Amino acid sequence: MMTFTEIKKSFLTSLWFMFLTFPIMVIRVNTIEKQVIWRWENMWYVGIGSFLLSFVWRYFLRRKERGNNHANEHIANMSSSIQRIFSRRRYKIPAMVAAAMTVAVFPFVMNSYQTNIMITALMYVMLGLGLNIVVGLAGLLDLGYVAFYAVGAYTYGLLNHHFGIGFWTVLPLGGALGALFGVLLGFPVLRLRGDYLAIVTLGFGEIIRLILENWNEFSYGPSGIAHISKPSLFGIKLSFSGEITYMYFLMIGMVCFTIFVVNRLQNSRIGRAWIALREDEVACQAMGIDKTRTKLTAFALGATWAGMAGVIFAAKTTFINPASFTFMESAMILSIVVLGGMGSIPGVIIAALFLILLPEYLRAFSDYRMLLFGAIMVIMMVFRPQGIIATVRRNYNFKKAEN
């Protein structure tokens, strides 16, 4: 019987888990009194817990496999009907108005703590949309994206510290410098694809961080740069909460600008070339697409957004040090893109808000935050690998070529 074998498998899984966790869950050595405490009851908790989890997991997996297309179609239909509703004028306009209203009143209704969290989330929306150009549209797996973020942040930090240059001057400069570093990284990795590309970009991200950490004369090492100026508003002196509100609307503006540009890019000639390049390089070359230039453009444009986001980050926190630019950040941004659905703008936005806001509001579970995070990612990838909102392009149902 099916359920019997399922139970057996779950049972074996739980045995395996009990064995694996035995040393940490059961044995406890009291080093002061030189005693070993055997906590046998913990073993039963682990056993029963993993048995139940494994059974539920298997049950859902089997259901997914059995009704493979069925369940998938259901979800696909659901998400596409959401898209359809929003593409209809009658719903689109009220929905947009409602969203705009929420966005507009948010900083006045919520307190400054919550607005601050929202600003951070918006920053990740921007970063996610930027990385989406590289990973989602051009299909180049970049694990060192945070490097460009750092470049932007340090551009503002250093220029402000040494020369007192203002935020609005440095913002485009940070973007440009990000782009320059994007091209710099792009050149050596042009021939690489997939895993190799991922490893090299990962290394690049670490190199930038290590330079910032160790080159004391240049970047002030691990102690970082403090007292960076906040963005100015025509020289008006703002109150504390006023500053946050200003930052919030600045971020909303940047996100809108990003959405606009990414949307335009997606439907442009170069956007089409990226998608084509992702699908078939040889065919692209036969069409006369310049592989080098197209890939470099993707790297440069993606890095531009990270650079600008970096400038904003430095202005927001007024303090930067290399610890803000670890691989964890790259992984986080990549998770946003993957979870949201590669190449999908609304998907990335939802995923960024979800991944940044959820942990903040789950402070109570802060010990298990990473565990929860990991579990959500695994579950997502098993049950919905195309992301929260798949790109429309990916919604085609493939049928076998018939003759």
Partner 1 sequence: MLKVNGLSTYYGNIQALKGISMEVAEGEIITLIGANGAGKTTTLMSISGIVSSRQGEIFFLDKPIHAMSPDKIVSLGISQVPEGRRIFPYLTVAENLDMGAYLRSDTENIKKDMAYIWDLFPILSQRRHQAGGTLSGGEQQMLAISRALMARPRLLLLDEPSLGLAPLVVKQIFEIIKKINTENNTTIFLVEQNANMALKIAHRGYVMENGVITMSDSSRNLLCNEAVKKAYLGL
Which residues here bind partner 1, judged by CB under 8 A?
269, 272-273, 275-276, 279-280, 282-291, 393-394, 396, 398-399, 401-403
Instruction: Considering the complex, state which of residue 223 and residue 292 has its C-beta at the smaller distance from partner 1.
Output: 292
Instruction: Considering the complex, state which of residue 29 and residue 287 has its C-beta at the smaller distance from partner 1.
Output: 287
Instruction: Considering the complex, state which of residue 9 and residue 394 has its C-beta at the smaller distance from partner 1.
Output: 394
DSSP per position, 271-336: HHHHHHHHH-HHHHHHTT--HHHHHHHHHHHHHHHHHHHHHHHHHHHS-B-GGGGSHHHHHHHHHH
Q: Can you read off the two tokens belonging to residue 130? A: 């930027």
Instruction: Considering the complex, state which of residue 282 and residue 364 has its C-beta at the smaller distance from partner 1.
Output: 282
Residue 44: closest CA among 9, 17, 69: 17
Residue 394 burial (CB count, 10 A): 13
Residue 103 burial (CB count, 10 A): 16
Instruction: Considering the complex, state which of residue 278 and residue 316 has its C-beta at the smaller distance from partner 1.
Output: 278
Shortest separation between residue 265's beta carbon and partner 1, angstroms? 16
188, 200 contact by CB (below 8 A): yes
Instruction: Considering the complex, state which of residue 32 and residue 282 has its C-beta at the smaller distance from partner 1.
Output: 282
Instruction: Considering the complex, state which of residue 70 and residue 393 has its C-beta at the smaller distance from partner 1.
Output: 393
Instruction: Considering the complex, state which of residue 265 and residue 315 has its C-beta at the smaller distance from partner 1.
Output: 265
Instruction: Considering the complex, state which of residue 90 and residue 399 has its C-beta at the smaller distance from partner 1.
Output: 399
Q: Can you read off the two tokens belonging to residue 64? A: 């997914």
Shortest separation between residue 396's beta carbon and partner 1, angstroms? 4
Gap between the Cα atoms of 391 and 54, Å rounded = 32
The amino acid present at 222, given as its one-letter code, is P
Count of all residues that appear for the chain in the document: 403
Shortest separation between residue 87's beta carbon and partner 1, angstroms? 16
Shortest separation between residue 119's beta carbon and partner 1, angstroms? 36
Gap between the Cα atoms of 154 and 307, Å rounded = 9
263, 348 contact by CB (below 8 A): no
Instruction: Considering the complex, state which of residue 173 and residue 276 has its C-beta at the smaller distance from partner 1.
Output: 276
Distances (CA, A) of 359 to 131, 135, 168, 261: 21, 25, 31, 29
Shortest separation between residue 268's beta carbon and partner 1, angstroms? 12
Gap between the Cα atoms of 262 and 256, Å rounded = 10
Shortest separation between residue 139's beta carbon and partner 1, angstroms? 11
Shortest separation between residue 264's beta carbon and partner 1, angstroms? 17
**Residue 100: CB partners within 8 Å, gap ≥ 6?**
none
Shortest separation between residue 69's beta carbon and partner 1, angstroms? 16
Residue 132: closest CA among 11, 309, 7: 309
Residue 29 pairs with which residues in a beta bridge? 36
201, 142 contact by CB (below 8 A): yes
Shortest separation between residue 153's beta carbon and partner 1, angstroms? 36
Gap between the Cα atoms of 114 and 99, Å rounded = 18
Shortest separation between residue 266's beta carbon and partner 1, angstroms? 13
Q: Can you read off the two tokens belonging to residue 370? A: 């990473």
Gap between the Cα atoms of 351 and 341, Å rounded = 9
Q: Can you read off the two tokens belonging to residue 396? A: 């085609």
Residue 111: closest CA among 241, 270, 299, 300: 241
